[in-house]
Amino acid sequence: MIPKIDFPFHKVHFCPPKFFVLSLVVWVLIFIARINVVFADNPVITDEAQQLYQQYQDCVYQIRVIDLATGNKSTTGSGFQISPAGYLVTNYHVLADAIQHPQRFRVEYLGHDGATGDLQIRDVDVIHDLAIVKRDGEGHHYLSLGDSVLMKGARIFSFGNPFDLGMTIIEGIYNGLMEKSLYRKILFSGAINPGMSGGPALDHKGQVIGINVSTAGNQVSFLVPVDYLKTLYDKFLSRPSGQKIVWDRYIEQQLYENQEHYLDELIPSSWPSISFGEAVLPDAISKIFKCWGNSEDKDNELYKDAQLTCSIEDDIFISSEFSTGRIFYQYHWLTSKGLNSIRFYNLYERFFDDRYDFENANKDDVTNFECETKFVNVADKNWKVAFCSRQYKKYPTLYDMYLNMAMVEELDQGLLVTVYAYGVSQPKALVFIKKFMKEIKWQK
Amino acid sequence: MAKIIIEIINHQGVLQEYRTFDSFPVRIGRGYQNDLILYDPYVSQEHLKIVEDHAGWVAQDLNSKNGLYLYGHPKTLPEIHLASGGEILIGKTRLRLLSSLHPVPSAVSISTNSKFWERIDALPNMMGLVLILFLLVVLQSYFDSIKNLSLGKLASVAVGVIVTVVIWAGSWAFVGRLIKHRTFFCAQLSWISLYYVASIILFEFSSYIRFFTCDHMIVITATLILFGVLFAVLLMGHLTMATAISLRKQMAASGMISLVIILISLQFHFVIKNEFNPVPEFYSKLCPPFIKFKPARSIDKFIDDSKGLFVALEKRKQEEKF
């Protein structure tokens, strides 16, 4: 999972003095190390960045989510103004707490000149992690929205307030749209850090091409293409003003439509297959899946285990403890290397009973799992199939699903097929799982 | 021959002594002039006297402070007519009046009179049973292992089991020593070993039933009931050897203990049932398919049937709301 880059103050604990001294020493060491890096790399500070910063610093804000109980900030991110009417853009995940628990949090901005004021949340896109907020007052400077398709290698500039240290501008390279991704993010080679979420990335003309969203570390960062923002903003403007949005229903609708949309594309397409043991199983069923293989055949083990895992790597962030949207499936081909069938089936049972912990949600978000176990005829073989599901409490049309199947036909061979689907609707997921089971075939 | 025997039972229900008297009246009280002197501060100096009448005896209150009761009745009485076996209460002391011809139950045998217990008490049989248990546990850990373990490692599990059963049998032998003045250690050890062997065989042979039964709840309920009954039988055997209580009392005691264990596990189940659990729990027993069969259920049928899952989820949500 790619870590989000909002800065969770509530997770920073105050240390006793002993640790304070220790951490001070560590900070000093890090500081020295950084100076070394600066001297070693000697980055070229172009005038371009300086000019862009001077020109647009008053369009960029720090966005703060304030905990009402303590009056202090619990999360910070960045944002930028996109219209003279006072509309600002940031990431959904920066505001997630305030949307999920409006009675506990409020949102405010901090301008480059130190001015602060309240913000009202007007619209969100949880799928692409965008939010539109409104500030009081008009006529301030704003950024114009550009085009997210640039030449690969183009220099782009990202604004943001990392670790609440102050507004910064960083320079990096545009590296195109991610191919193997459900939600097509821009790959940005530059160091986006916690707190910069929601800040704008500009081209040399000063137009917004994307919005900072996440980082995988080591200069591998991601931007939301500005096209999704344009779509969201157009939809927002076309909606009659004064219409009150019920966030739970609104987010549920977005999640529901998103899964319908990608499953509708996934289900009818023809799936490539792969020979796996003696079976023929679905390979990466579309280009958004990444597959990783692994096999173990140690001399001291009495069995061979070949496994393949295919996964969508995009999570949809709903709150700090609740994410969804992922689908993955896993195969194990187990063969005995000297275990008799009773011992082999004990081993097989351990693989089948792999108690997978669904850590994507907690008890406020989902019910417990209900499971059914049955014998099913798949590819003219006998399988024991466990099918489990749990419902989302706030979004009751959506479920997490878990299909775990073990072939019980051979005495010294086993095939496990496990499918995990997060945040899917009942009818679509059942069609998907049916197709998945029907794609399991045997080599002639 | 004594005309009356008085059984003195203290306030805790413990029999203290028997006293016999040849002549009437029998005077009872705390004072030293009485025929029967009682050590009970709630008894008056001259509490009552017992005289003979045509049908048995009459207990007459001698104006005592706390009065005279027929045992088990709430009101004081000035006079009580009693036959052999009748009981009265004075102060906190209970007196049972018996004639010398009052019948007593036949003696309980110190050695249990069944052939079965004698057989398992024999040392060679005990050794045989313990050896069978040892081998069975070794075999079980061999089949459970997925690596080739040395015989020493396999045996170490079995040694642990043997030590446990020896300690268990030892504590029952101790109980027997206290109550019956005989330990029956060999029989106790044979009995627990037999129980262990039976459980292992039952567990292993039921694995196919558990494999074909896909329902978690059915399996757990059946296991609880089966092992509850088995455990009750185990306790009854131990009680037969260590104590002299009747079969009915044995059944009641061991049945109760089993039931309490089952109830505690059920209560635990219901307490944690609605706790949040991020792990999907399903019954995952797999067995080698020595007998092959083709399930009739097709993929389409399976998907159609799985709609029941969502009905169950809806029900669960309603339950959690309450």
Amino acid B44: pLDDT: 92
**Spatial distance between the Cα atoms of B169 and B177, rounded to a whole number of angstroms:** 12
- Arithmetic mean of pLDDT, A211-218: 89
Instruction: Give the one of B215, B276, B278 whose C-beta lies nearest to A359's C-beta.
Output: B278
Percent of chain A past pLDDT 90, that is, above it, reads 64
Cβ-Cβ contacts under 8 Å, A390 against chain B: 280, 313
Q: Does B146 touch chain A (CB under 8 A)?
A: yes
Residue A303's closest chain B neighbor by CA?
B146
Top residue of A296, A321, A343, A381 to mutate, by most chain B CBs within 10 Å, is: A343
Residues of B in contact with A370 (CB under 8 A): 309, 312-313, 316
pLDDT band at B322 (very low <50, low <70, confident <90, very high): low
Whether A345 sits inside 8 A of B274 (CB atoms) is: no
Residue A355, pLDDT score: 82
- Report pLDDT digits (tens) over B189-239: 999 999 999 999 998 888 888 888 878 788 888 888 888 999 999 999 999
CA distance B209 to chain A (A): 14
In the CATH scheme, what is the code of domain A45-245? 2.40.10.120
Position A234 scores a pLDDT of 94
Alpha carbon of A357: minimum distance to chain B alpha carbons (Å) = 5
Cα distances (Å, whole numbers) of residue B221 to B275, B287, B309: 20, 21, 21
Contact (CB<8Å) A370/B312 = yes
Kindly report, residue by residue over A312-325, the tens digit of the pLDDT.
888 899 998 899 99
Q: Where are the domains of chain A?
A: 9-41, 45-245, 259-442
Q: Which among A357, A386, A409 is the nearest to B289, CB-wise?
A: A409
Query: Which whole-number Å values give the CA distances from B226 to B197, B205, B231, B262, B264, in the listed order?
Result: 15, 13, 9, 11, 16
Q: Return the percentage of chain B with pLDDT > 70, whole number.
A: 97
Provide the number of CB pairs (under 8 Å) joining chain A to chain B: 159
What contacts A386, CB < 8 A, 6 or more positions away? A371, A372, A373, A402, A403, A404, A405, B280, B282, B283, B284
At A12 the pLDDT is 44
Quick: pLDDT tens for A269-304. 999 999 998 999 999 998 889 999 988 888 778 899
Indicate if the pLDDT at residue A39 is higher than 50. Answer: no
Q: How far is CA B155 from CA A147, B124, B136, B149, B233, in A?
A: 73, 21, 10, 10, 28
The CA-based angle A269-A254-A387, given to 5 degrees, is: 60
CA distance A409 to B293: 9
pLDDT digits (tens, 9 = 90+) for A56-78: 988 999 999 999 999 999 999 99
Q: Which of A359, A371, A426 sits opposite B310 (nearest CB)?
A: A426
Other C-beta atoms lying within 10 Å of the C-beta of residue B15: 11
Does B321 contact A at CB distance below 8 Å? no
This prediction's pTM: 0.78
DSSP A88: E
Amino acid at A271: W
Tell me the mean pLDDT in the region A339-363: 91
| Residue A219 neighbours by CB distance under 10 Å | 14
**Total residue count of chain B as it appears in this document:** 322
Q: Which of A393, A378, A386, A390 is nearest to A434 (CA)?
A: A378
Tokens of A435: 């197709």
A356 contact residues in B (CB cutoff 8 A): 279-280
Closest-CA residue of B relative to A430 is: B303
pLDDT value of residue A37: 45
- CB atoms < 10 A from the CB of B240, how many? 19
In angstroms, rounded to a whole number, what is the distance separating the alpha carbons of residues A434 and A385?
12
Looking at beta carbons, which residues of chain B come within 8 Å of A411? 288-290
**Max CA separation in chain A (angstroms):** 80
Query: How near does any CA of chain A get to the CA of B139, in Å?
Result: 11
Quick check: do A45-245 and A259-442 share a fold?
Answer: no
- Is pLDDT above 80 for A241? no
The span from the CA of A253 to the CA of A247, in Å, is 10
- Return the pLDDT at A18: 56
* Residues B138-163: tens digit of each pLDDT: 999 999 988 888 889 999 999 999 99
**Residue position matching structure tokens 């106790």:** B188
Tell me whether residues B147 and A355 touch, CB distance under 8 A: no
Burial B242-269 (b: 16+ CB within 10 A, else e): bbeeeeeebeebbbeebeeebeeeeeee
Tell me, yes or no, if B216 comes closer than 8 A to chain A by beta carbon: yes
CA pseudo-torsion sign B209, B213, B214, B215: negative
Q: Does the pLDDT value for residue A41 go beyond 70?
A: no
Q: How far is B238 from chain A (nearest CA, A)?
A: 35
pLDDT the model gives residue A213: 92
Instruction: Please give the CATH number for the structural domain made up of A259-442.
Output: 3.40.1000
**Residues ≥6 apart with Cβ < 8 Å to B210:** B219, B283, B285
B211: closest CA of chain A, how far (Å): 9
What pLDDT sits at residue A228? 94
Put simply, whether B284 touches A (Cβ < 8 Å) is yes
Whether residues B288 and A344 touch (CB distance < 8 A) is answered with yes
Name which of A371, A411, A415 to mutate to probe chain B: the one with the most chain B Cβ atoms within 10 A of its Cβ.
A371
Burial of B22 (0-12, 13-18, 19+ CB in 10 A): exposed
Q: What is the mean pLDDT of residues A22-34?
A: 53
Q: Is B125 helix (H, G, I), strand (E, B) or coil?
A: helix
Give the mean pLDDT of chain B: 89
Contact B297 A375 (CB under 8 A): yes
With beta carbons under 8 A apart, name residues in chain A contacting B207: none
The model's pLDDT over A432-442, given as tens digits with 9 standing for 90+, comes to 999 999 999 99
